[in-house]
A = this chain, B = another copy of it.
Amino acid sequence: MQKNPAQCQFVVALDSIVGKWKPIILYHLLQGKPLRFNELRRLLPDITQRMLTLHLRELEEEEIVKRVVYPQVPPKVEYSITEYGKSLSPILESLHQWGVAHVKRKQLKMNNQEQTETD
């Protein structure tokens, strides 16, 4: 790892965001409504139970996500974004926008290529 502390903090921030499903989990929780475990599963059709659990635990550890267990049968657990977690919102937002633009750019390039190929 890089020694220079001024440069290392990128990584710290990225660690909280990186993980195959973390951005999407955060996206849904940032909508504001607390979500139950299986609600999240439904929103992320391809995630495995295991990964959902792991990622949620990590986000909880960073205090980005809050986990509330309702002591009842059948069990009910709700996940929500913390106030602190909301501070990630602008970053996610800019990442998202940049991503959209980036994809468009790539597609444009692809089209131009086909164009010149068929010329």
Contacts and interface: CB of A to CB of B under 8 A. Distances in A.
A114 B3 CA distance: 26
Copies of this chain, whole number: 2
A52 interface: no
Contact of A94 (B7, B27, B84, B94): B94
Interface string A93-111: 0111011111101000000
Interface in A73-104: 84, 87-88, 90-92, 94-96, 98-103
Interface in A20-43: 21, 23-24, 27
16 contacts: A2-B21, A2-B24, A7-B24, A8-B99, A9-B103, A11-B23, A12-B100, A12-B103, A13-B96, A13-B98, A14-B95, A18-B18, A87-B101, A88-B98, A90-B94, A94-B94
